[in-house]
Amino acid sequence: MKVGRCILAGPVALGLLGLFSAPAVAVDFYAGKTITMIVGNDVGGGFDAYARLFARHLPRVIPGQPTIVVQNMPGAGSSTATAYVNRVAAKDGTVIGVVTPGAIAAPLFDEQTRRNYDPAKLIYLTSADSGSRVCAIYHAADVKTVDDARQKKVIIGAAGAGSSSSDYAKLHRTTSGLKFEIVSGYKGTGDLLLAMERREIDGLCGVDWASLTSQRPDWIRDKKLNFLFQVGVKPHDVLTRMGVPDVSTSTLSPDDLAVVELVTSQQVFARPFIAAPEVPGEQIATLRAAFESLYKDPGFIADAEKSQLILAPTSGAEVQSSVEKMYKAAPNIVGKARAVLK
């Protein structure tokens, strides 16, 4: 179903759980309470925009109508926020994490991160998007295509270690044989886009197509970006019509492709909302039902469209299954992925 430019195209059917059938205990629990959304990225980025969209609408569909506040906690590609939700935050259903999929995938490749949380044990409430990512070069740079990037040095900007912009740049540098010089330390997508405009860097990788369309729609319209390739669970219709090739056409070997598929499987849950493992089942059921109800709510859909945020939702249960499957991947492929991302 397409509503304006806001696309509802989730990989699973989202069954609406009637709010009127919510147990009285759920109403009693959330009445008068405040839910804090911990966003693992800076203010102004794509994840922050999605969090604030949901924060505006969730209170009216959660029994008891709690207040929702958004708190930004950037650091280590959202791993700081994820660890906080897992280890420090209240475990009663009043704290929700809004983190990058890279924070969920990171412990698979980094033992130190896994000491702080086990993604397979976290609780997933929903993912608002399951979209594609791109590797994009600013139009003023000399490099226009993958072949160019194999011949000429490309300065690629990235956030901190464990962020998608860092991991995907390393991934493509190795598996596609690109001459990427990675400059890390940017706060997030917003800073990276400004750096491209200032010509500090040539481009970036691992950026969500949804973030680009919401933050720089004029760049898309005016063709200010050259896309090396798109990365997704399946090719994105719009990007394909634009002539952007799939990353599989650029990988150097079957093993390289297997590594890419493992790392990028996180895009099934491109905008995950999480809770700690200890949160009671009643609260989890209430929150999952509230998220799912919004995907059919006209006011919410209209706000997403106005904010130019794409909705391609995945249910919490489906995200849970995908993460568990990721953490059961073949050890040899995991080992190769670790070496690439090191």
Is it the case that residue 71 has pLDDT exceeding 60?
yes
Structure tokens at 248: 């599989």
Q: Please state, for a pLDDT cut of 90, what percent of the chain lies above it.
A: 77
Q: Which of 54-58, 162-166, 310-314 has the lowest mean pLDDT?
A: 162-166
- Cβ-contact 33, 94 below 8 angstroms: yes
The DSSP line for 91-123 is SSS-EEEE--HHHHHHHHH-HHHHTT--TTTSE
Is it the case that residue 150 has pLDDT exceeding 60?
yes
Per-residue pLDDT of 19-32, as tens digits, reads 434 445 556 899 99
Per-residue pLDDT of 200-223, as tens digits, reads 999 999 998 988 988 999 999 999
Residue 254, phi then psi, degrees to nearest 5: -60, -40
Instruction: Return the DSSP state at 197.
Output: H
Cα-trace Rg, the chain: 19
Which residue ranges does the chain devote to CATH 3.40.190.150? Answer: 2-130+270-341
Name the average pLDDT for the chain: 90
Is it the case that residue 254 has pLDDT exceeding 60?
yes
Crossing angle of helices 101-109 and 331-341, rounded to 10°: 110
The pLDDT value recorded for residue 25 is 56
The pLDDT value recorded for residue 13 is 39
Structure tokens at 241: 């019509």
Q: For the residues 168-181, what does the mean pLDDT come to?
A: 97
Instruction: Give the CA angle between residues 48, 180, 82 to the nearest 5°.
Output: 30
Kindly state which CATH superfamily the domain 2-130+270-341 is placed in: Bordetella uptake gene, domain 1 (3.40.190.150)
Rounded Cα distance between 189 and 271, Å, is 14
- Burial of residue 175 (number of CB atoms within 10 Å: 0-12, 13-18, 19+): buried
The pLDDT value recorded for residue 307 is 92
- Cβ-contact 30, 59 below 8 angstroms: no
Structure tokens at 172: 């493509």
Structure tokens at 48: 């922050």
- Give 4-7's long-range contacts (Cβ < 8 A, gap of 24+): 4/305, 5/213, 5/305, 5/308, 5/310, 6/301, 6/304, 6/305, 6/309, 6/310, 6/311, 7/310, 7/311, 7/312
Those residues with Cβ within 8 angstroms of residue 329's Cβ, 6 or more apart along the chain or in another chain: 108, 262
- Cβ-contact 34, 75 below 8 angstroms: no
Per-residue pLDDT of 274-327, as tens digits, reads 999 999 999 999 999 999 999 999 999 999 999 988 899 999 999 999 999 999
Is it the case that residue 332 has pLDDT exceeding 90?
yes
pTM here is 0.74
The residues pairing with 71 across neighbouring beta strands, listed in sequence order, are 38
Is it the case that residue 58 has pLDDT exceeding 70?
yes
CATH class, 133-265 region:
alpha beta
